[in-house]
Amino acid sequence: MTFVDRERELTALENFWHSERAECIPVTGRRRVGKTYLLEHFAQGKRAVYYRCFLTGTAEQLPALGQALAEVSGDPVLVAQPPSSWTAVFALIEQLTQHGRLLLVLDEIPYWAARDDSLPSTLQNWWDARGRTLNLMLVLCGSAVQMMEGLLTGAAPLAGCITGRLPVRPIDFRAAAELVGYTDPVMAITSYGILGGVPLYLTFFRPERSLRDNILNAIVSASSRLYVEPQAVFAAHHQVYDSRSALAVLRAIASGKHRWSDIAEAIGVSTSALARIMEPLIGDLGLVERVLPVTETHPTRTYYTQYHLTDNFFRFWFRFIEPNQGHIEFGDVDRVTDLILTRLPDYMGLPFEAMCRDWVRMASVAGVLSERVGRVGTWWNPNHQLDIVGLDEDGRAAILGEAKWHNQPFNYQELERYLGHVRALGNLTRPDTQHLLFSRTGFADGVLRWANTANARLLTPESMLASFSA
């Protein structure tokens, strides 16, 4: 797999490695986001021990951890009889650190903690007594984000051991374009709209193939890895989550049910029972997000709250693959692929809007907008909606925008509707607000003339992927 867009994470890890003190670093992020690949890349050329925890008890885990440590020691006696008690494992860690800095990665540590409540206290007591004095970088890695937070924050035993932290997030659409390798900007952005920012998913598209062939071979084919990916993710969590209910929630949201009551009704549970299902989807797996109008300052006003999928591929899969699995199993893959291509422009609306908001965030950081913005989101009321709203430090709209993924240019009627939505925002709009219009296929002459006289910028997929310049 090509390694892209992890410079900040690698820099942070290297800083921890060269700190000349003991480090205890949690690395968090949803499954498949590339945490292990990042740590493997970072570990190259270092004395490193990697141990992946399982959903088993300490009696089974300790000998396996001892074996991993023994193999790094190079001592044939230890390799033949690895330590299998906490006392012996800790002693071996101390011995290894006497011969140079050691990187110890405990991956998926929530699995171990789920089978041994005493694990956090055991690690904390050792760290406080000995670990914090060693030439050691201890990395505690986990995909269950909320469970990791519970282990490492607040009054949790390990909270006082943490010397830093590193969240690993999906890569953005610009990095994804580099990874997937399409030279055509529309193809690159479409690929991100389908696959999202999980590096593993992006590697299944090949730039020498057409979009149709990639969808057919990497997703629609019943023998492909991505064909069953959402089901596989929950199969891996089957002892932690109710996969049937979780998949039902994701299915409902993907079909357009974005309000709490509508989701509950779609899956046939009470609104109170939905909370138990939704909590891990938002907190641990990061597949669902709560969305409020960016101007809303009262998050408890639940009638404004919507729920959206954060993962483009899950959205795509529930929209196109799951409903057609019967046809695909019987070999009708060409017809299903053609159906997907026909409906893809409509599907791409939401992913493209999200990419445009991400572009605004990145452009703001790069200093290429008329005003830096602190918050970027969307805004709506019962009659109006704005795809892109960027707020200044005073909470006023410094950036406003609209995104259109059509086969036709952004036309003047669409511009007039957009300006009507802008007027509905009222006094939250600054007099010098900059307008950003995004379009897959360019802009009609009337829109071009308007932009020449307004504080506006018109962007296409090509300009979204171009290097930032003032």
Ranges of residues in the chain whose predicted pLDDT is under 50: 1, 238, 470
Residues belonging to the chain = 470
- How far separated are the first and last CA of the chain, in Å rounded? 33
pLDDT at residue 240 in the model: 56
pLDDT at residue 30 in the model: 80
Where helices occur in 44-100 by DSSP H, the ranges are 58-73, 76-80, 86-97
With the C-alpha atoms ordered 155, 158, 161, 163, is the resulting torsion angle positive or negative? negative
Backbone phi, then psi, for 68, in 5-degree steps? -60, -40
Q: Where are the domains of the chain?
A: 7-167, 209-347, 350-465
pLDDT digits (tens, 9 = 90+) for 314-352: 999 999 999 999 999 999 999 999 999 999 999 999 999
pLDDT at residue 34 in the model: 86
Which residues on adjacent β-strands are paired with residue 24?
138
- DSSP per-residue codes, 212-233: HHHHIIIIISTTSGGGGHHHHH
Residues 6+ apart with CB under 8 A from 297: 395
Q: At what angle do helices 243-254 and 271-282 cross, to 10 degrees?
A: 90
DSSP class of residue 442 equals -
* Cβ atoms 80, 134 nearer than 8 A: no
* Cβ atoms 362, 370 nearer than 8 A: no
Widest CA span in the chain? 80
Determine the topology of domain 7-167 in CATH: Rossmann fold (3.40.50)
pLDDT at residue 171 in the model: 92
pLDDT at residue 296 in the model: 86
Q: Select from 273, 309, 275 the least CA-distant residue to 290.
A: 309
123/152 Cα distance (integer angstroms): 12
Q: What's the CATH code, domain 209-347?
A: 1.10.10.10
Q: What's the CATH code, domain 350-465?
A: 3.40.1350
pLDDT at residue 288 in the model: 93
